Structure 1
Amino acid sequence: MGLRSKLGLIFLLVSSLAILVLCVAVYTQAQSSRLDRTRSFADERIQLAAESYDRNDVPLFGSRLDDPDLPPQLRDAVKNGKRATFKTGSPNAKMWAAVAVKDGRILSIVQDYDVNDPSMNALRRALILGGIGTVALVALASVVLAGSLSRRIVAVASTARRIAAGELDASAAEAAGKGKDEVQSLALALDTMASSLRGQLEAERRFTADVAHDLRTPVTGLLTAAELLPPGRPSELVRDRAKVLRRLVEDLLEIARFDSGVEQADLENVGLGAFVGSAVGRLRMQQSLAPDSVVVHRVGPEETVSTDSRRIERILANLIVNGLRHGKPPIEVTVNGRVIEVVDHGSGYPEELIAEGPRRFRSGMAERGVGHGLGLTIAAGHAKVLGAELTFGSALSGGALARLVLPPTPETEL
């Protein structure tokens, strides 16, 4: 049950209970007033009848002396010197009035007390109809009010999801609308958080870009100087570490470009299956890989997609190298329509990466090896530029599974 339904139900139940209590109170008060009027009328009649009997020995209004049907409670009250009234219970309710007269006798009057009084029946019908109508109006009003509140909360939640997706300029306060209630306070707090996050991300992006840019020149010089060292094991170690440092700087520059949002895809029509096969072949040559270390499977007919082949090759290279480094060969690359799957035979991706996606400078569990954690981050950045969906999970064999789903080729307008 949604918030709108819950609020509407709460308003309806509370208002219905309040209206029920009010109707019962009004009807009870009306019954009490009617009883009081009947008692007063009977009391006035017995007083007049007693005065007439004391003066003229003539009882009025059909009063009777020492009526044998006189209720015992009323008889006891009169014997104690009181003038009293008494209503008997249903059915055949009656209103009695009695008083002591001369000679120690009791003069009494009795009249019918009609429970089904027409005025009370009319009042009961009016209360029932009025209560039902009021409940209906309250239900309608509660649905409208709850709907308005629910729409505002849903709008704020939608804005929060947009912010989480990276649209940090989205305003929750505008989505919440005007007002000074708790929803508006929540929206303002969310905007404040987004503004702070935007500042932190901008500072992080600038720091990454500045560091990578400032390191590029000295690293290039270091690599050039390392090539001039005399042959030997120490020289090989220096050159190897210099190359690693250069790759790290290049990766940082690439991430900085993703963060700035300036990257755009250079689209071209590509036969996906054939392209993936040739890209894997080039990677084998560049990395000096054994032919059986990376295996390509093509399922179904060849499909031509409109995409950026350079970015596809970069994504494939990062996924395959990550599998070779942290998993176990062979790495199986499967192309099925617009879907590319890369599976290794290692221990699989960590649960945190599967749930939240790759994070820079976090390489996962220790058993998956060491690294800077930038390869999968860069692959995810290229996939975002392509408008593709890159997800990480576990293969049926227990290894790591990366699935790249390319967007459909847009239809050409004639």
Structure 2
Amino acid sequence: MAPFERPRPGRVPLRWKIAALAAGTACLVAAAVGVLVHLWTASDIRSRAEMQAFNTVYTAMDTYRRTGTLIEGAELDPPGLPASLRNPDDGDRHVGYDGHLDGNSGPTVWAAQRVGGPGSPVLAYSVNTNAQRYDLRRLDATMAVASLLALAAATPLAVYGAGLLGRRLSRVSETASRISAGDLDARTGPTQGRDEVDDIAATVDLMADTLGRKLRDERRFTADVAHELRTPVGGLLAAADLLPPGETEDLLRARVRDLRGLVEDLLEISRLDAGAELPVRDRVPLGAVVSEAVTRTGLTTEVEVSPSAGSAETDPRRLERIVGNLVVNAHRHGQAPVRVTVEGSTVVVRDHGPGFPADLLRDGPRRFQTGAAERGSGHGLGLTIAVGQARVLGAELRFANAPDGGAIATLHLPT
């Protein structure tokens, strides 16, 4: 039974997060590399074309001045020459870029130089980079396909590696959950890895060892104190019987009875902590057992038994103990009316007081702590015993506050 287990919201497994991160990183790297390769290749294509055009104009100008003829591809004042090259300010060679596309022509790199003085024609030569641009597009496609293949290969590997890490973390989480549920013997052990996960597992195991040792010391102390007090309390009770009747005798007897009840509660808690309690199950009418338990408290309590409440296979003595403690707690710390409802295999005890304190709803009842001051006085063992007995029965005991005020304790018996 885990009556105070906190609900876990929907979560995405760690391996899928790591796989998504690996895939995203691979995509980012592939995109960055692809862009860099594309830009570098495009720059290299243009640089090579400019160098080719520049050198060709030099050769063409030398041939034209010596022979008066033009080499193949060279032209004087061609119509497609960019405007920036039509009227150069000097006689040096200049290079220009024309990004215009016309079918299979373009982009084009031009180089030009004036033949003579101002007003003389301009000799120009062009280099069409369409073939290189086609190769660039093929390179881009190849890079994209290679990136997809790398991504397809890397993602399963990332999922597998993340799965190994997730399983190791799950072992640690499972151990921590078992410890929080009361299994102080749960240990993770080695996680087959010398990393942070192994450190976490060792820390959780060390925490469990320390916690178990402290709890064992606390239980041993509780049991020893209860056993040591039992004899003197019995002697006090016998001595109280020898006092002459009167107010003093009644007051002393009442205090001794309270002390004996505390000792008996401590002994019961020590047995529950030690796991020495075993249920004696029997098929009993649930409504009748609950009604009898409420009657034995001697407190005015409303009992409502639904027609759906049939028989239950449980330990009637422990069930009466749970119901009795819940009813006494409702009267002691809450306000009337106190109502007990039996429906199906569920028993609900409700009062109309200030409700359970927030720390009890969050962490469950703790011994020797009654919560908020407005919930009255007591030694805080009644709900602790009820939870322990419910655990012995395999039942589930939950605590909540009603929207309109009041505390609600709900006991779900196993069906």
Shorter-chain TM-score range: 0.7 to 0.9
Please list, as runs of the form range in 1=range in 2, the aligned pairs for 1:1-400 lying within 5 A after superposition.
2=12, 3-65=14-76, 70-74=81-85, 80-91=90-101, 92-99=106-113, 106-114=122-130, 117-174=133-190, 177-281=191-295, 283=296, 289=298, 293-301=300-308, 303-329=310-336, 331-395=338-402, 398-400=405-407
2:63–2:70 contact (8 Å) kept in structure 1 = yes
Query: How far apart are residue 236 of structure 1 and its match?
Result: 2.4
In structure 2, how many angstroms separate the alpha carbons of the residues matched to 1:229 and 1:8? Answer: 80
- CA separation in 2, counterparts of 1:71 and 1:395? 85
Question: Cα gap change, 1:380/1:66 in structure 2, threshold over 3 Å: closer, same or farther?
Answer: closer
Task: Give me the whole-angstrom Cα distance separating, in 2, the residues matched to 1:114 and 1:328.
Answer: 91
- Secondary structure of the equivalent of 2:342? strand
CA separation of 1:212 and 1:84: change in aligned 2, threshold 3 A: same
Quick check: 66-75 or 313-322, which moved more?
Answer: 66-75
8 Å contact kept, 2:168–2:197: yes
Return closer, same or farther for 1:394/1:43 CA change in 2, 3 Å cut-off: closer
Note if contact 2:57-2:113 (Cα within 8 Å) is conserved in structure 1: yes
Aligned equivalents of 2:112 and 2:336: distance in 1?
111
The CA deviation string for residues 161-181 of structure 1, in whole angstroms up to 9 with x for no partner, is 22111112222455xx32233
**Distance 1:26-1:380 versus aligned 2 partners, 3 A rule:** same
* Distance in 2, Cα, partners of 1:247 & 1:349: 24
In 2, distance between residues paired with 1:118 and 1:70? 23
Secondary structure of 2:130's partner? Answer: coil
- Distance in 1, matches of 2:65 and 2:276, equals 115
Higher RCO (CA-CA < 8 Å; seq separation 6+): 2
Three-state SS of the structure 2 residue aligned to 1:60 is coil
Shift of 1:396: 7.1
- CA-based RMSD: 2.9
- Extract unaligned runs of 5+ from structure 1: 409-414
Deviations 1:303-344 (A, max 9, x none): 222211111121222222223333345543332222222233
Distance 1:65 1:326 in 2: 108
SS at 2:237's partner residue? Answer: helix
Contact kept? 2:77, 2:86, Cα under 8 Å: no
- Structure 2: segments with no counterpart, 5+ residues: 1-10
Q: Percent identity?
A: 42
User: What is the CA distance between 1:262 and its match in structure 2?
Assistant: 1.5
Does the CA contact (< 8 Å) of 2:46 and 2:109 recur in 1?
A: no
- Pair 1:116–1:308, CA change in 2 (3 A): same
Q: Cα distance 1:27–1:367, how it changes in 2: closer, same or farther (>3 A)?
A: closer
Tell me which amino acid in the other structure corresponds to 2:221: F
SS of 2:183 mapped into structure 1: coil
Cα distance change, pair 140–276 in 1 and its aligned pair in 2 (3 A): same
Does the Cα contact within 8 Å between 2:334 and 2:351 map onto a contact in 1?
A: yes
For structure 1, which segment, 109-118 or 15-24, has the greater mean C-alpha deviation from structure 2 after superposition?
Answer: 109-118
Deviation at 1:390, TM superposition (A): 1.5
Q: 1:37 to 1:344 in 2, by over 3 A?
A: closer
Offset of residue 129 of structure 1 = 1.8
Contact 2:401 2:407 (C-alpha < 8 Å) held by counterparts? yes
Tell me how far 1:381 sits from its aligned partner. 1.0
Task: State TM-score, norm by structure 2.
Answer: 0.84
Cα deviation digits, residues 81-111 of structure 1 (max 9, x gap): 5334333221343332334667886543234
Stretch moving more, 100-109 or 390-399: 100-109
Aligned to 1:411: none
Which whole-Å CA distance do the structure 1 matches of 2:79 and 2:350 have between them? Answer: 106
Q: How far has the Cα of 1:395 moved from its partner?
A: 4.9
| Alpha carbons 1:43, 1:97 under 8 Å: kept | yes
For residues 348 and 71 of structure 1, the distance between their equivalents in structure 2, rounded to whole angstroms, comes to 88
Deviates more, 1:222-231 or 1:35-44: 35-44
Q: Deviations over 1:352-391 (max 9, x none)?
A: 3233322111123323321101111111111110111122
Aligned residues: 398
Residue in structure 1 matched with residue 7 of structure 2 by the alignment: none
1:131 and 1:395 mapped to 2: Cα distance? 59
Q: Closer, same or farther in 2 for the Cα pair 1:311/1:60, shift >3 Å?
A: same
* C-alpha separation in 1, matches of 2:63 and 2:352: 117
Q: Identify if the C-alpha distance between structure 1 residues 33 and 245 changes in structure 2 by more than 3 Å, giving closer, same or farther.
A: same
Q: What SS is found at the alignment partner of 2:279?
A: coil
Match for residue 405 of structure 1? 412
Further displaced range: 394-403 or 192-201? 394-403
